[in-house]
Amino acid sequence: MQSVTTQVLLPEGLGVRVGFLNKSRLAGESFLSTAFIGQLNPDAEQVFPGPHAFDGSYTDLKLTWKGRSFRVQSATESGDLVLLITPVDAAAPSDGLPMTVVFSVGFLWDRLGSVEKLADRIEAHAGSRTISFFFDGQQTAAFNAPVSSPYFAVDLDKAKALSSGKPRTMAEVQGILQRQRTAYERSNEKAGASGAIADAIQTVLGWDTIYDPEHQRVISPVSRLWSVNWGGYMLSDWDTFFAASMASIGERDLAYADALKTLNEVTPAGFVPNFARAGEWKSGDRSEPPVGAITVLGLYQKFQEKWLLRDAFPRLLAWNRWWAEHRDVQGYLVWGSDAHGQPESLDDISRGTLRGGTL
């Protein structure tokens, strides 16, 4: 799920969405169902990302929308999830109406399962597994909240929390968040770079890593917002190789996934494409600089696992040979675009142009 305010349990595909209902005494009520980093429309939500652990055990962000600001924190402990939404506005809204937060629970990507709301909880059933969600406090009426799955709706006049597994008090939720925040900070201190650098890398990649249901894989695309506009995901080859090198500072499996899944996008001609997107579309006319080999070498030097070299070598060799055969001008590798490269994307107007050759 691309939204930064949705938590997803894998592999079940069970999602907990955090939505915001902006109420009005006149016309103009609106609902924010998804939130993205980097929105350019001044009327859209603005997200200020904070810490995000590689494994999702702790996340923290600030969201501003409709003149209101909120801190959204999540943490996991012993398989349970806690969410805390805290208003950070300095003063109460002028109309006296607090924002309403809607915690909805449902299965994503057409995954099997069912969800029902009971008197004291929401229950999700995935095969033989049952997961319960609890809210400790007074709920509010939100009959017109545009969600199609069971939900809790509560006014954000103060901090409000959701938890899975068992009911928890506010103090218990805050305790879990603090423990996981401390664990996150310690993981950065143990990384091979300064804590500040490790924090920046883990935060950036944490917020920019998604699950691709089409291929059932975890990847770090160019951005979540780009991925939505490209149908689900968008991998740009050298960007994702750079992400793999960055991830190696603290998350080996993500580093391997980013490197190898990008190599898996190789075209029939033998090169890693400039872009690969959802629906099996990719650029058949151009590639970006062949940084895959140096990326894989760096991962091997760090983790010393020879299977990685054996797995990656055939595709890396084909890619480097393609550059030598198709982009070598007097001993220099140059940019280029083959107008009729295969697979041929008729929607790509940059094929065979100077713009295509420099992307």
Regarding whether 225 and 149 lie in a shared domain, the answer is no
Q: Is residue 201 part of a domain?
A: no
Q: Is residue 194 part of a domain?
A: no
- Nearest partner of 12 among 124, 132, 118, judged by Cα: 124
Regarding whether 220 and 351 lie in a shared domain, the answer is yes
Regarding whether 41 and 140 lie in a shared domain, the answer is yes
pLDDT band at residue 91 using 50, 70 and 90 as cut-offs: low
Regarding whether 115 and 52 lie in a shared domain, the answer is yes
Mean pLDDT of 235-245: 93
Regarding whether 181 and 221 lie in a shared domain, the answer is no
Q: Residue 94: what pLDDT? A: 57
Regarding whether 25 and 162 lie in a shared domain, the answer is yes
Range of the domain at 285: 208-358
Work out how many domains the chain is built from and give that number.
2
Regarding whether 290 and 151 lie in a shared domain, the answer is no
Regarding whether 218 and 179 lie in a shared domain, the answer is no
Regarding whether 32 and 178 lie in a shared domain, the answer is yes
Paired with 211 in beta bridges are 218
Instruction: Give the C-alpha separation, 142 to 40, whole Å.
Output: 30
Q: Is residue 192 part of a domain?
A: no
Neighbours of 8 (CB within 10 A): 19
pLDDT band at residue 222 using 50, 70 and 90 as cut-offs: confident
pLDDT band at residue 342 using 50, 70 and 90 as cut-offs: confident
Mean pLDDT of 343-349: 76
Q: Using an 8 Å Cβ cutoff, are 34 and 52 in contact?
A: no
End of a domain among 155, 186, 217?
Answer: 186
Read off the pLDDT of residues 98-150 as tens digits, 9 standing for 90 and up: 889 999 999 999 999 999 999 899 999 998 899 999 998 888 887 778 888 99
pTM score: 0.90
Residue 192 has pLDDT above 90, yes or no: no
Regarding whether 325 and 247 lie in a shared domain, the answer is yes
